[in-house]
């Protein structure tokens, strides 16, 4: 492990410790009223999201170690799992989440943990950038030899230079998305790194009223053996 990787892992640990304390403090409050309960819930939720991003960042640095094995995995349960985790957040922020599964192929070749990270970051991104009272869409469909998991938001348009970078399949570093305020681009950076590791293609479609981010995952041939 080189010095830079080592430094990032140490920094990640340093960041995680205070976030874990904040989360624990919020969980320690007992017997609070309804309004305070909402605040408490939000404190737990915000710290958990930040912890997750720190953990994902650590994973990005560990991809080089090849610790993540590829195997046939079912897409839908992973999507369901992420939706379940984020549904509170969508509700809390008054965002609607529309889900459509039209894929006949269930199994793709991926790493369960990394795929979960990609979908999580796409959805979090969509929730963050969709306007109030608008919806985000998670769509899973078949495309010839792969399965596409796509997340569409109705937020500001994706800057063309970021779109071009994504078209090349790679974002070199977290890039501030200028037209998407408050963004460091970290979630997108993590998602593209995870996707690249899984040999999955990642990309974005620009709409006049938002953006779709997608990952194309190779279908598993396992089912065809039966």
The residues of the shown chain that bind other proteins, judged by CB under 8 A, are 13, 16-17, 19-21, 23-25, 27-28, 48, 51, 55, 58
Sign of CA dihedral 108, 111, 116, 117: negative
Distance from chain centroid for Cα 8: 20
Which CB atom, from 20 or from 83, has the smaller least distance to other proteins?
Answer: 20
Which CB atom, from 88 or from 98, has the smaller least distance to other proteins?
Answer: 88
CB of 76 to other proteins, least distance (A): 25
Which CB atom, from 24 or from 93, has the smaller least distance to other proteins?
Answer: 24
CB of 23 to other proteins, least distance (A): 7
Q: How far apart are CA 217 and CA 149, in angstroms?
A: 8
Which CB atom, from 39 or from 160, has the smaller least distance to other proteins?
Answer: 39
Which CB atom, from 13 or from 38, has the smaller least distance to other proteins?
Answer: 13
CB of 24 to other proteins, least distance (A): 4
Which residues partner with 99 through β-bridges? 138
CB of 33 to other proteins, least distance (A): 19
**Helical residues (DSSP H) of the chain, grouped into ranges:** 3-28, 34-62, 75-92, 112-129, 160-167, 186-197
Least Cα distance to 55 among 23, 15, 27, 90 occurs for 15
CB of 30 to other proteins, least distance (A): 8
Q: How far apart are CA 194 and CA 22, in angstroms?
A: 28
Q: Across the chain, how many H-helices and E-strands are there?
A: 6, 7
């Amino acid at each position: 492990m080189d010095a830079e990787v080592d430094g990032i892992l140490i920094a990640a640990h340093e960041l995680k410790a205070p976030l874990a304390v904040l989360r624990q403090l919020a969980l320690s409050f007992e017997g609070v009223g309804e309004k305070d309960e909402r605040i408490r819930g939000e404190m737990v939720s915000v710290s958990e999201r930040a912890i997750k991003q720190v953990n994902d960042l650590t994973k990005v640095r560990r991809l080089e170690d090849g610790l993540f094995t590829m195997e046939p995995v079912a897409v839908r349960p992973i999507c369901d799992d992420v939706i379940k985790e984020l549904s509170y957040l969508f509700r809390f922020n008054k965002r609607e989440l529309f889900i459509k599964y039209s894929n006949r192929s269930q199994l793709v070749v991926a790493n369960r943990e990394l795929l979960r990270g990609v979908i999580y970051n796409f959805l979090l991104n969509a929730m963050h950038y969709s306007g109030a009272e608008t919806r985000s869409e998670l769509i899973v469909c078949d495309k010839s030899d792969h399965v596409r998991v796509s997340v569409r938001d109705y937020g500001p348009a994706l800057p063309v230079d970021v779109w071009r970078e994504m078209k090349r399949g790679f974002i070199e570093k977290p890039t501030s998305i200028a037209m998407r305020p408050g963004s460091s681009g970290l979630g997108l950076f993590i998602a593209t790194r995870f996707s690249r590791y899984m040999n999955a293609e990642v990309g974005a479609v620009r709409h006049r009223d938002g953006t779709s981010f997608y990952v194309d995952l190779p279908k598993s041939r396992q089912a065809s053996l039966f």
